[in-house]
A and B are shown apart, each in its own frame.
Chain A
Amino acid sequence: MGKAVVIAVFRRAYAAFRGFDDETGSVPMMDGPLRPNALLDAMPVVLTLPDVDNLSAWRDGLMCSSGREAFRLVRSKDSLAIAERHVFEGPVSCLAAERGGGLAVGLDGQGVIVVEGPHAGRKISEVGGQPLSCPTAALFDGPDRLVIANGAASVTTADWKRDLMEHGASGAVWDVDLARAEAAPALLAGGLAFPSGLALAPNGGLFVSEAWRHQIVRIEGRIVDAPPRALVRDLPGYPGRISPRRAGGFWLAMFAPRNQLVEFVLREHEYRRRMIDNIDPAYWIAPALSSGASFLEPIQGGARKKLNRLKPWSPSWSYGLVARCDAAMRPIASFHSRADGRVHGVTSCCELEGAFYAAAKGSGIVVAMDIAGAEGETPA
């Protein structure tokens, strides 16, 4: 281990001296199953709701979060309508729904509370002696077990850019036994670089999106049993929430694109320090859920408008990307909204009654697609 680290240090120093990038500094092409298209843009908008975030199928409808609120949505003709509204004490950062009726809500900076079901009222605000400040995703494994991803030890989910820019790797996945009130959350995996999505693997274990390392890892059980194992690496975006598909496999929302300039800035320590200290995060050289709103945002050469048009292949801080993955989390197809698209910053997806929904937090809309007959086909 030590030797490998030393070799890596020397290789990086040599790369810096010669001026080329080693494998950690280059962004993989969007190609193969992740080849760009405009399918997200082609989907009809079924709900417009600023900051719409975590979609989750619950009971006979959908739940979604937005700011301090959570909404129950029902289908009405070609769109979604708000049926119920819940307001919480803080910004909702994630939702977890259980088939039996359980519902847990993550509150940014505060923890996770169970609001419905047999364990309603249970609040998890500390994990391993630390406050649970960054609940990015939660998942019920049966009615009595709740798995929580804590994105980072000391920042909130709203501050995710800062964690990325500070090379954060303090995230963890915790296992909470709801049946025993006194039981302390158990650590499943620590040292993760912003775990931001959870899913139950088909044959036991968990899939976890590790956003800042652009990979999906698999956790077999407790940390003592086996360390997390990278399943899918080198994704071209930052992976976020994962939701299961009825037909098997998963939907993976990638909430922001990787960018060569961001990877470069991530290695420029002095610049990054000054940027973090002096500049509003909205104007950083960093991935974003939406972009182009202000002229104070930096732009890249390829993002200049030529003849009054922004080219779809322009480099962009934000993007819309959902991958359809197989049972081993390998992407097999994808839906995109490119630089000139309007469905940016997709943070979660959900399937309900033969329809696919994607919540674009950056654009504040939910788009939908009928998948009843199209299941299994590869989008063009």
Chain B
Amino acid sequence: MYSGDVLKRLRYRYLPGHLIGEILTKRWIDNAIPFLTLIIVSAVFGMLIPGFFSANALGDLGRQFAEFGLIVLGLTIVMISGGIDLSVASVFTLSVLLSLIGVNIEGWPVLLTAAMVLAVGAACGAINGYLVGYLRLRAFLTTLVTLIIFRSIYDIVFLKMSTAIIASSSDSDLWAYIGNGSVLGAPASLIVTVVIAIAWHVVLSRMRPGWRLTAVGGARRSAYNAGIKVRRTVFLAYVWSSLLSALAGFMFAARIGSTGADTGVGLEVSALTAAVLGGNSLGGGRGSVAKAVMGALLVLIISDGLTNFGVSGPINSTVLGCVLILAVFVDMRWLRNRDKWLSKVYVSPAYLALPPLPSAYNAASPYALNNKLRSVEIIGLGQIEGPEDVILDRDDNLYCGTRLGDIVRFFGPDHQRHEVFAHIGGHPLGMAFDRVGNLLVCIGGMGLYAVAPDKTVTKLTDETNRSLFSVVDDSRLRLADDVDVAPDGRVYFSEATVRYEQEEWATDALESRGNGRMICYDPRTGATRTIIHKIVFANGVCMSKDGCSFFFAESWTCSIKRYYFDGPKRGSVEPLIANLPGYPDNINRASDGNYWAALLGMRTPALDLALTMPEFRRRMARRVAPELWLYPNINTGCVIKFDENGRILESLWDLGGENHPMITSMREHKGYLYLGGVSNNRIGRYKIDGADPTWTAQDDYWGKPS
């Protein structure tokens, strides 16, 4: 133990560094930068400008936001669909003019005017949508042209009507209420916008039209191939954008009651700035209502603040332009680097000090080296790939999983012929027979499955209860590993790690943190619950013969533990074997009342040392390619036998791993030991001297068939 290691151990126990990586995987992390900026900008202006947070100022901000937010929301919708709508400002201005003409000059009912304005807005959007969506014109140029056209119409009409607009006014209460009324202190128009925003949030994040919109923006071709009506989706996005702008114009007209030559000039730039500043991607496919809202607030606060300081309009626009460029830059960097940063910080090794390595070179040790496994018979050479676990039924048929997603059955007693017993799709790992002969199997990436003797496949469970304080939803089973059945029928199985997929198990070894868990599935209720947390790579499970406890292997700590699910010690975990020379995998019963355990690989002094130096491993993960990382030495494996009290009785080796480079499981059956290995292309069969030639695990678990 080195000085400083105590501190290091405490730091790694109590500061969960892996959470940084997990937080980065959350989708909402995109909002972090705009959100922080919003808080900082609000705080700065709040301090510099007296009365910035007064009710009056906030109310004013709310009304401005009601209109501006709608425009930004519309633009965001178009941006999510992969386009851009520059004409929002022109549609807005046109709507202001139409509303004033309708209500103030012609004296039409307010609601009728609103309907008319919205209809005109929708029509403008339909023009954009038809040109961009159906005729496939470029969004940028098309909406630039319609921006000019709509603006020109405004200019022509405004010129003729300007005197009338200035002279006229309306005495409609509703009109005044929309413009300046409040509900419980909140501006009426703000309420309208908030309702629309929430509705759109639900649509975008929870409903099919929103998902389709995102799909079209994210990958147009894939969306088309998936059967989404791409053109109509794009068309509708533009219609909605203009509709929302038109509504904003209507509310603006109600509030201000007049319009001028410069109304809405440069508004499209502000809206675009807001949308991008909030984190909506210009490339499409990435955006949300929350981002639009934050962006709109940011732009409003900045421009209002600058106006408060007496900064003139053109300079204000210049500042916003600069902010837009900065936002585009940050957005680009974030988008490009997020996955890179994530991959760099996700792997977060922990501190793990293993006891001194027991010597296997000492002839008196129970681990004393031998070559007993060098001469095992080989079954199915080259016919199977990756038999992680093997199991035999009462009729001597041999079952194993393969990485092709099959469960292969070799017919007894000679195991020369084989068939695909069941195809499930994922790599089958641990297996066990229940009382009636169903084959329960853990499948990496899928969960716990059962195969009946008639070959029907049933999914038993693929999720458990979510951990209380987990950042990432860990309810789905990622790497169900080994399984065994209690006398009462409850199924206990291990999940090796919740942070990595099966192919990345070595990265979990690099972390050596308690990422695994033990889970119980109760077939009587169908419920699945996690019973033990924070296991450092939960691996093999085997029922003890006492009927109220099971053994489980904790691979990276090189230990085997015992859990009591019944009896006086119910719910407690006891260490059984603490310091193995290798990494334990599956555990199974032996005919003499003891237990077999496979060591999938051997400890090496260099890795043991690295386990006490998490920073070293973290840097290694960042700098060195995974193929060159320091790994557990899985090129040599061995089988050990231990008794109920954890005493090691004997060990079986194949030095140099010539016949069986790695051993992940072994199963005793009628005097032979059958060996499986997750990266092997064969099954081994070893004759056990003096073993009971009639013993089968089925009889031992469930009694002889009557």
Interface residues of chain A, those whose CB is within 8 Å of chain B, are 19-21, 25, 259-261, 264, 268, 270-271, 274-275, 278-280, 283-285, 292-293, 295-308, 310, 315
Contacts and interface: CB of A to CB of B under 8 A. Distances in A.
Interface string B634-651: 111000000000000000
A304 B624 contact: no
B623 A264 contact: yes
Contacts of B622: 19
B412 interface: no
Given A278-B609, A293-B656, A303-B631, 15 more contacts: A260-B624, A261-B628, A264-B623, A271-B610, A274-B2, A280-B605, A283-B604, A285-B606, A296-B357, A296-B633, A300-B627, A300-B631, A302-B627, A304-B634, A305-B634
A270 B613 contact: yes
A188 B175 CA distance: 99
Nearest to A263: B624
Interface stretch (B197-205, B249-257, B674-682): B674-682
Contacts of A304: 631, 634-635, 679
Nearest to A307: B681
A296 B662 contact: no
B385 interface: yes
18 contacts: A19-B619, A19-B622, A259-B628, A278-B609, A284-B606, A295-B636, A296-B357, A296-B603, A296-B605, A298-B605, A298-B606, A299-B635, A301-B629, A302-B627, A303-B631, A306-B679, A308-B661, A308-B682
A19 B619 CA distance: 8
A274 B609 contact: yes
A24 to B, nearest CB: 13
Contacts of A315: 627-628
B628 A260 contact: yes
Contacts of A274: 2, 609, 613
Q: Which 6 residue pairs across A and B have the least CB separation, nearest first?
A: A302-B627, A295-B636, A298-B606, A305-B661, A307-B681, A295-B602
B438 to A, nearest CB: 30
Which has the most chain B C-beta neighbours within 10 Å: A20, A270, A293, A305?
A305
Nearest to A273: B2
A305 B662 CA distance: 8
A285 B609 CA distance: 11
Contacts of A308: 661, 680-682
A278 B608 CA distance: 11
Contacts of B629: 261, 300-301
A296 B602 CA distance: 7
A292 B662 contact: no
B329 interface: no
A304 B631 CA distance: 9
B605 A279 contact: yes
Which has the most chain B C-beta neighbours within 10 Å: A21, A300, A308?
A308
B630 A300 contact: yes
B628 A301 contact: yes
B584 to A, nearest CB: 15
The interface residues of chain B, by DSSP majority, are classed as mixed
A268 B679 contact: no
Given A304-B631, A306-B679, A21 B616 contact: no
B344 A19 contact: yes
A301 B606 contact: no
Given A19-B623, A303-B635, A308-B680, A292 B656 contact: yes
Chain B, interface size category, equals 35 or more
Contacts of A292: 635, 656
Given A283-B604, A304-B631, A271 B609 contact: yes
A164 to B, nearest CB: 15
A270 B620 CA distance: 14
B600 to A, nearest CB: 11
A305 B661 CA distance: 7
A163 to B, nearest CB: 19
B605 A307 contact: no
Contact of B627 (A25, A295, A297, A301): A301
Nearest to B385: A307
Interface in B670-700: 679-682
Contacts of B619: 19, 264, 268
Contacts of B306: none
B457 to A, nearest CB: 26
B351 to A, nearest CB: 14
B624 A307 contact: no
A298 B630 contact: yes
B604 A295 contact: yes
Contacts of A303: 631, 635
B627 A275 contact: no
B336 to A, nearest CB: 16
Contact of B624 (A264, A295, A299): A264
A307 B680 CA distance: 4
Contacts of A19: 344, 619, 622-623
Contacts of A25: 623
A175 to B, nearest CB: 41
B628 A302 contact: yes
A278 B605 contact: yes
B616 A271 contact: yes
B607 interface: yes
B106 to A, nearest CB: 66
A302 B627 CA distance: 4
Interface in B137-172: none
Contacts of B607: 298
B290 interface: no
Contacts of B631: 298-301, 303-304
Nearest to B507: A301
B376 interface: no
B252 to A, nearest CB: 49
Interface string B571-615: 000000000000000000000000000000011111101100100
B657 interface: yes
B625 interface: yes
A126 B627 CA distance: 46
Which has the most chain B C-beta neighbours within 10 Å: A280, A293, A301?
A301
Nearest to B607: A298
A153 to B, nearest CB: 27
Contacts of B116: none
Nearest to B637: A295
Interface in B335-350: 344
A253 B656 CA distance: 28
A363 B163 CA distance: 102
Contacts of A296: 357, 602-605, 633
Contacts of A300: 627-631
Contacts of A293: 656
B626 interface: yes
A284 B344 CA distance: 26
A153 B634 CA distance: 39
B194 interface: no
A301 B626 contact: yes
B24 interface: no
B604 A298 contact: yes
Contacts of A261: 620, 624, 628-630
A274 B506 CA distance: 24
A170 B203 CA distance: 72
A315 B629 CA distance: 10
Contacts of A299: 604, 630-631, 633-635
A299 to B, nearest CB: 5
Nearest to A286: B606
B105 to A, nearest CB: 65
Contacts of A278: 605, 609
Nearest to A16: B619
A179 B600 CA distance: 64
Contacts of B506: 301
Contacts of B603: 296
A28 to B, nearest CB: 15
Contacts of B344: 19
B606 A279 contact: yes
B679 A297 contact: no
A275 B679 contact: no
